Amino acid sequence: MERLAIIAFLLLIVQGILTYFQISDYRKRISVLSKVGKIGIGTKKGFLRAGCITILACDNQGRIIRGEKLEGITIFERFKEIKGIEGLTLQELKIMYPEEKEGQKRKRQKSAMLQAIEGLEKKLRSQVSP
């Protein structure tokens, strides 16, 4: 019994260390992308399924400069570039993620993407409004 408690404690420590690395990767990605342009962040949590975090960077006209996403259920996941969205406007990107029923994975990606787009739209509107 004591051996099992020690193993569980060690696994908890390893998980904490790996979570620290994932959080520092998240902060690093935000720092890098915020230097490129305005950023919008969208998240969709998955309880026992994969969650998704999307970070988009755009210029002052609402054109996507770069996008990255982290998707998965393990602490080993890292951010990956979203290919094919550079140069699109926020409106064009919204059209790429229509409101229709899809698989669960696609639904999580879409939800996180739309949140990031909405965040960027708010930032751009507040920039224009006095």
pLDDT digit string, tens, across residues 64-112? 999 999 987 777 788 999 999 999 999 999 888 765 445 555 666 788 8
**For the chain, which residues make up each domain, given as ranges?**
2-128
pLDDT of residue 99: 53
Distance CA 117, CA 122 (A): 9
pLDDT of residue 65: 96
Distance CA 99, CA 96 (A): 10
User: Who wins on pLDDT, 51 or 63?
Assistant: 63
Q: Which two tokens stand for residue 96?
A: 């790429």
**Nearest-10 Cα torsion for 96, 101, 102, 105:** 90
User: By the 8 A CB rule, do 43 and 118 touch?
Assistant: no
Residues 23-49: what's their mean pLDDT? Answer: 90
Instruction: Label residue 59 by pLDDT band (50, 70, 90).
Output: very high
Distance CA 66, CA 87 (A): 8
Mean pLDDT score across all residues of the chain: 86
Distance CA 32, CA 55 (A): 11
Task: Name the 3-class secondary structure at 21.
Answer: helix
Check pLDDT > 90 for residue 38.
yes
Q: Can you say whether the dihedral through the CA atoms of 98, 101, 107, 109 is positive or negative?
A: negative
* AA letter at 97: Y
CATH topology of domain 2-128: Sufe protein. Chain: A (3.90.1010)
Residues 25-35: what's their mean pLDDT? Answer: 94
Residues 103-127: what's their mean pLDDT? Answer: 82
pLDDT of residue 18: 85
pLDDT of residue 27: 95
